[in-house]
Amino acid sequence: MVQQCSALVSRIPYFRFIRETADSQVPITFGMWWRQAVLGQPDGVYWPVHPSSVVNGYQNVLIGEHTSPGYSPGCYIQGIGRVYIGDYTQLAQNVGIISANHDVHDNSVHQVSEVRIGRYCWIGMNAVVLPGVVLGDFTVVGAGSVVTKPFPEGYCVIAGNPARVIRRLDPAQCVPHTCRHAYVGFFRKERFEAYRRANLRL
């Protein structure tokens, strides 16, 4: 019954995102849209987020196509500083993206930085990405890793605490796949730039 209702709703032009993202890595359901757009849980976040994930400062978070940080359960996305996450990047459960840290001499003060994560990255379960980190395209972060420094070259697997390169990837074997319909969060790509200019701080 729920699937039948969703299929009927997706035929309404406004809700075409249900149909057009169904085969993507972060499909948008009517329930997600209703919880966020109507009930405001979480308030203002422009991409689908799991109810158990937390996004702090979405205005400082810029995502790419078919990327939804916090789509998996238990994630924490901290947008005190700027956070950039590229197209088709995926975050597993309980991932933390941290863009600011407390000053060691005065923990009432934040030392603000930024985080940049490239395209087609995969951040494994329970990994934490700390302020100032840059991850190039096609970076895989092993489960439970703590990423403390940049790996801007990408095309690698990093793991550990602190994370280090454990394997290099052959760029010729890395597949830059795309979806037929381009979405940035809840927005079709061609509509997103206007939203960004009006609502985001980056």
Q: Where in the sequence numbering do the catalytic residues fall? A: 102
3-state secondary structure at position 87? coil
- Residue 161's identity, in one-letter code, is N
Rounded to whole angstroms, the Cα distance separating 200 from 185 reads 13
Nearest to 150 by CA among 124, 125, 99, 116: 116
The per-type count for the chain, helices as H runs and strands as E runs, is 4, 18
In degrees rounded to 5, what are phi and psi of residue 41? -125, 100
Number of neighbours of residue 123 by Cβ within 10 angstroms: 28
